[in-house]
Structure 1
């Protein structure tokens, strides 16, 4: 997504061959001449039978993108997890993950360190560079958005819109700039490198890409999203993950009771909501759980956030995989808390934050590559 490829696609989704021939005869002849011969020999039946259709359309995605002016996209496998708006006229290919949301608030939350750190741990790695891979089912679907107020959504959205516009502007003005290059320099600055210590190539990117502004926008975004969660802005990575996993578990419990926080209620409720929701067309309220201070005693805490945090901490500090019994034994309540430990481990494993070398018996913390 660094630069537009200026490639046009003939998109005939939703039309049968007879309609294409009647409405767009020149297009029909071109596709008949250049596409059908290859499709006739394709091993996939859908490609042979629907030879005039571009690729194999995602039937779930097309309706979701219909009537939208733009959508959020990220490259499936990339060194840096960057989200941006793409115009609806751009047809996403198989290398993009398209998210049918148009608001700046959603872009802001996804671009914050809360989601990017979650995605780094929940997703996999792929390619020669072992780059992080973004999987919708593992990274996006289980991610719990904050229960933001309208004012918080507006603040996050404004920063995200400025961030998106800033990147697009500098990329359009300088041919040598790429998103990867911008974020390579940004990561150097985040690691403590002073601008004066950048290489000449990096300094050119720093100057032409206005990377300090990029950094400032991301810093402001992280503070705003932390505020929306009701959390401190300086949480360590493990604490962020622990809180997100605990919040994910609470959301799952709410959904089991029929309470769902929809991101696009007008679109989602008529298609996926309950009969009650379809009638009411309302979103379920979410109440943030209170965060209790860590006990000075080695007791297993009663809250989901506390339990998740201590299980993660135990696995991080361990030099070998542990099972639920071994973790429970480290707390004052002993095996009485083993079911709770097992529940936390199950959630962490389902989301992808821990791995199991023996099919679910023992677990170790899944560190970023």
Structure 2
């Protein structure tokens, strides 16, 4: 009796296939997507929330209070927070315009000007939440904006001064699309954001050895 060869399923491709058709359901999909993303990049899932925020080091829906006009105070919820690592704000758009009342568009149609503005607004919201964290927790080095099932945007401030989170690693590649998760280097970058964000600080990169610099200079001179 012959048996069919076992099919090896690539976890990244399985994740991409599972989530690529999702849309317009941030509340329903956000925590499931992020939990499964943690599995994919091989980091622990968030912890259960406790009644004392001093112990909520890595949780969904971390509460923060921030001032509004005329002395008012508002309460916000960080979609996913990890102390010393990041503040994450999640949204979910859709890939096509709603054709009927039963169709949902989410925050915006992906790729549209309104979607781009909505993602920028989400970034500002995440920074507002980061600013509202207690001083003793410090500024997180990363702000992350996610369109669930579509993209992950990274912004970094390694100074932790609140001077501004800039596109990371650069304006051309700060947005990670769902399909990019098939690349192991991208998954490793995200794992670092989750577990050792300062390892990604370019200022901490090891210096180029003197011999290597000399060789590089000779090559440049010959070019």
TM-score by length of 2: 0.29
Select the structure that is richer in helix: 1
Higher relative CO (CA 8 A, sep ≥ 6), structure 1 or 2?
2
Select the structure that is richer in strand: 2
TM-score by length of 1: 0.20
